[in-house]
Homo-oligomer: A and B are copies of this chain.
Amino acid sequence: MAASQRRSSGIDLAVSTVIFALRPEPERDSSRLWLPLVRRTRDPFQGKWALPGGWAAKDESLVATASRHLRDTTGLEPTYLEQLYAFGDADRSPTGRVVSVVYWALVRPEQAERAEETENVRWFPADALPQLAFDHNLIVEYALWRLRTKMEYSRIAHAFLGETFTLTELRHVHEAVLQKPLDPANFRRQVETSDAIVRTEERVTGGRHRPPRLYRYNTAVELSDNGPLSHTQI
C-alpha cells in the first residue's frame, strides 16, 4: 500500500469453474464423475480442452461470474458452488499474466443429461481427462481432492441428487466419489443419526425387490460449512 500509487496493471483476472456431475455406468452398476470442458478456439492452446470460464466482469461479483459462465457454456444451474482457489503463478499462461479464481460446482444428473454437447463443449470422465490447456489438469486434480475430502465430513453428496432419494442412491454417490464400496448397513446408520436427511413416508414401488423408503434433505441445516462465509450472496 505504502509503496506506490500505481494499482495493479498488466494482470488479467479470469474466472473458471470445475463442474462435476455423476453419470450412471450401466455395465458396472455404479456411477462415475464427469465434467464438461470447452475447446479453445484460439491461441494459446488452440484446439486444447479447457475449463469453462472467462474474464472477470467489473460490475459482477466473482461467484456471480462463475455462475453466469456455468449457465452460458453448459445451460446448467449449479446445486452447489464454492470457490476452490486463486491460481496466481507468474508463468501459468504463455501470453501475459493471468490470475484465475477457480470455482467448483455440483449439478444434478437430470440437468447434466439435458445439457447438449456441441462441437466445442464435451463431457469427459474425471479420471480420464486429456491433456488440458494451461494448468487445468492440476486444477481439476485439486478440485477432485476437495470434493472427496468434503464428501467425508459434509453433506454435499445430496447436491448430486434430486429432491427425494433412497439411501442406496445416496450411498452410490459416496461410492462413486470416494471410489470405494461402503457397507450399506453402516452407511445407513451414519447418515440417519446425522441430521442431514429426513425420512418421508413415500416408498419407491415398481422395483423388483422390497420398496425402499425415500428421504429428503434437511433444509434446516447448511449444506456445507464455510465458516463466516456461509451466507455469502451470489
Binding site for B on A (CB under 8 A): 1-4, 6-14, 38, 40-41, 50, 52-63, 72-73, 83, 85-86, 88-90, 97, 99, 101, 120, 138, 141-142, 145-146, 149, 227-229, 232-233
Q: Is the CB of A86 within 8 A of B72?
A: no
Given known A85-B83, A88-B101, contact A228–B11 (CB-CB < 8 A): no
Give the oligomeric copy count: 2
**Known contacts being A142-B227, A145-B227, A227-B145, is A62 close to B40, with CB within 8 Å?**
no
- List 3 tightest A-B contacts by C-beta distance, closest first: A62-B88, A145-B227, A8-B55
Q: A55 and B7 in contact (CB under 8 A), knowing A141-B228, A228-B141?
A: yes
A40 CB, nearest partner CB in chain B, Å: 7
In the complex, the answer to whether A61 meets B38 with C-beta atoms within 8 Å is no
| 14 A-B residue pairs with CB within 8 Å | A1-B40, A1-B54, A4-B54, A6-B55, A8-B13, A10-B58, A13-B13, A60-B90, A61-B88, A62-B88, A63-B88, A145-B227, A145-B228, A149-B227
